[in-house]
Amino acid sequence: MGSLEDCHFMSRCLHLAARGRPAPNPFVGAVIVDDKSKKIIGEGFHRKAGEPHAEVEAINDACRRLGRKRAHLLFPNSTLYVNLEPCNHFGRVPPCTKAILKAGIGRVVFAMKDPNPKVKGGGEKELKKAGVKTVFGVLRSEAREINKAFVKHAKTGMPFVTLKMAQTADGRFITRPDEPRWISGPQARLMVHRLRNQVGALVIGIGTVLADNPQLTTRLPGKEKGHDPLRVIIDPELRVPLNAKVLKDRNALVVCGQEARAGEAKKRKETLERKKKIEVWIVPDIKKRPAAQHGQLDLSAVLKHLGKCGTNHVLCEGGPSLAASFIEQKQADELMLFVASKRRGKKYPPSPSELRLSRAISKSMRTVLTQNVGNDLLVIGRQK
């Protein structure tokens, strides 16, 4: 639905929306257009949870540009474009419908309805009741894509899971001590840091902690300040070193199996909780599992726990074993696979975990998009 003109301004909304870091709230951008001149008189986006929503930012921006009196004279003959149905309920901020009606805006075009079944359609209904013209469905699929994590969490309570992996041209996922540390190039690594800046949790396995001792921080260029997501370590036998960099502060969660209820693992759990103030959470093994999955934790239980805590997007940067587990347990929504142009040669054959991940990807994931990122090829996959 909507005209080419509506699509043009909605595209601007989506561009603005992507600039925010609103998790666990949705990405939302808003544009106000004077219907006579067809010029943008105000625009904004939801910057951060707890701060004003995009619609309010756009209204305030118009008042700053034009002066409050002139802006309110133009609002009745203006269109507000927004990629998500304006909210009609109280959260951290008042309902956006109230601000729209108070401003007197005459027409509202939005891309998709709120996916939360408790509030879906409420904003549109309130606006129509007050005589505001509404148009729904402009660039709906693009709007759903940018808020895929918010949509899944709102409907299921579970976070959206993105697996990030890097692979050589000859199919290797693991670097050896005598090989270059990075498989992917600098542009790909920057892209991953920008994604870290937007997700609620970053998941790795104990193998990655022991092999690389990563910081798992968000590092952005220049003076751009990044957000460090919750660091989640999947550690079935609770072997994480107490001095690991991922445990540098309380913004971490260690997930382990039933082994942590007794012996040395129990003592380590008590030390982590008492001295390091790190939450340690015990989850069960998966109940029905093939031999290849023996001893794995139930990742759906981990994701449910994160979802209840308000996390709607999880980025997994673990090794091939953990990535394969997510795919095999059908908990991976998306795969971001950076394929490098260089080969590593036949000096080392693929490990069992690399072969297992390759089989899991081939069996369960389908390619939906490919694009060049520097010298690498990014392949986006989704569950079949």
Q: Strands of 40-45's sheet, edge to edge?
A: 40-45, 29-34, 78-84, 107-112, 133-136
Distances (CA, A) of 232 to 156, 208, 308, 317: 21, 12, 15, 10
164 DSSP 8-state letter? E
Amino acid identity for residue 296 in this structure: Q
Q: Which of 5, 43, 51, 55 is catalytic?
A: 55
CB neighbour list of residue 294: distance below 8 Å, 6 or more residues apart: none
Neighbours of 59 (CB within 10 A): 25
Q: Mark whether 224 is an active-site residue.
A: no
Neighbours of 159 (CB within 10 A): 27
185 DSSP 8-state letter? -
Please list, residue by residue across 64-93, b when 16 or more beta carbons sit within 10 angstroms of its beta carbon and e when fewer do: eebeeeebbebbeebbbbbbbbbbbeeeeb
Distances (CA, A) of 28 to 85, 88, 100: 10, 15, 15
In angstroms, the CA 23 to CA 218 distance is 15
Contact 164, 195 (CB under 8 A): yes
Catalytic residues: 55
